[in-house]
Structure 1
Amino acid sequence: MPELVLPTTRVRHSFLEAMDEFVAEGAEFSQTAAWIDAHAPGWHDPTAFAAFVEAVRADAEEDSPRPEWHVPCTTLWWVDGEDYLGRIAIRHRLTDFLLDVGGHIGYDVRPTRRREGHATAMLQQALPWARDLGIDPALVTCDEDNLGSVRVIEAAGGVLEDVRGIKRRYWVPTS
């Protein structure tokens, strides 16, 4: 049964397969695409992958080094045993950009495992994590034409505030 876990090396092989799927799909403008751009060549080395996992986990810490425009972010991986299915990121606070476009929570599901209910389950299980970080409600955004994400967010109780450009902005209760 799938579960949210902190990033772990035990899913490395499946994670690498998932990243290949995102590359084949042409993924861009997401955290996963940024990971691929910055780290993919080293992931085949288990030691480098372990360092990547630790860096992703450390990003949740307030005092971890990060670009000035980034905020602390708890990243959780959606896994089933040793199978990596997706990831969800909970940004601890909003910058002007995140308030306008990115939101508190972002997620993606590996391409070959979409339309199986993973995003819905992942978001619902992440809401208590957000609440424990003091986030209530959480801002979750999606592209206006992403009907799958619209359904996921609305199933979690998301209430549409507005549409800004191509982004639909929802407030989702975490308690």
Structure 2
Amino acid sequence: MRMEAAGWQHHAAYAVYFQACQSDGCEHYATISDAPLVFFQRLLDNAAGRRLSLGDVPTHTWFALDNGGRIVGAIRLRLGTTPFIHDVCGHIGYEVLPLARQLGVARRMLAFIQRTAPPQLDDGWLVSCDDDNLASRRTIERAGGVLLDCRCVYGQAVLLRRYFLPNSAAFR
């Protein structure tokens, strides 16, 4: 598996990935009505700081690619801290396709961020997951994530767990 910053060279693989994420019910893709390539262009524009909606921050995306060049996971890093990032979504968001789960893809994506990305808050990042998402909880905790709190957010039925994830220098 290798990590690559999202770029136009991934557009065909992303269209397949996007459809698979929507079919699987991945939260990040659940309400998107755009065609995959329209959404992909928006992702690239967002990373460059172009066409941001009010209150949005640039967000960089990296793909986890298998040996055949298929995208099996994606991780996003939001640059900056807004109240919504601080209280709800965190700086880091990620998903892994079902066919690649339990293979260490999420662990490797988080480790990649910890090694290479600029910390956004106190030498680390905020990351959150639903309380009932045991796989993400284990992945975040094994990466050194420290539980900050567990809270209800905007009337959601599931509790949200917020973690502080230190950069890899904290482990040296």
Would the TM-score normalized by the shorter structure come out above 0.5? yes
User: Does the 8 Å CA contact 2:91/2:125 hold for their aligned counterparts?
Assistant: yes
Number of aligned positions between the proteins? 161
Aligned: 1:121 with 2:108: yes
Q: Distance in 1 between matches of 2:58 and 2:76?
A: 10
Distance 2:44 2:114 in 1: 18
- Report matched runs for 1:4-153 at 5 Å: 4-28=3-27, 30=28, 32-33=29-30, 36-40=32-36, 43=37, 52-53=40-41, 55-62=42-49, 64-81=50-67, 82-131=69-118, 136-153=123-140
**CA deviations over 1:34-70 (Å, ceiling 9, x no partner):** 5x52233xx4xxxx69xx35x42342234x2210121
The more displaced of 134-143 and 82-91 is: 134-143
In structure 1, the gaps of 5 or more residues are none
Structure (1/2) with the larger helix percentage: 1
Q: How far does residue 11 in structure 1 lie from its aligned partner after superposition? A: 4.3
Q: Is the 8 A contact 1:130 1:138 kept in 2?
A: no
Change (3 A) 1:93 1:122: same
Runs of at least 5 residues in structure 2 that lack an aligned partner in the other structure: 153-158
Inter-CA distance 38–140: structure 2 relative to 1 (3 Å threshold): same
Runs of 4 or more off by more than 6 Å in structure 1? 132-135
Q: Deviations over 1:57-103 (max 9, x none)?
A: 342234x2210121111111111241111110000111111111100
Specify the code of the residue in structure 1 equivalent to 2:140.
I
Task: Report Cα offsets for 1:90-140 as digits up to 9, x if no partner.
Answer: 001111111111001000011221111100111111123333678721101
Cα deviations by residue, 1:2-52 (Å, 9 ceiling, x for unpaired): 121111344444433332322222333x1x445x52233xx4xxxx69xx3
| TM-score (norm. length: structure 2) | 0.81
> C-alpha root-mean-square deviation of aligned residues, in Å?
2.3
Percent identical across equivalent pairs?
A: 34
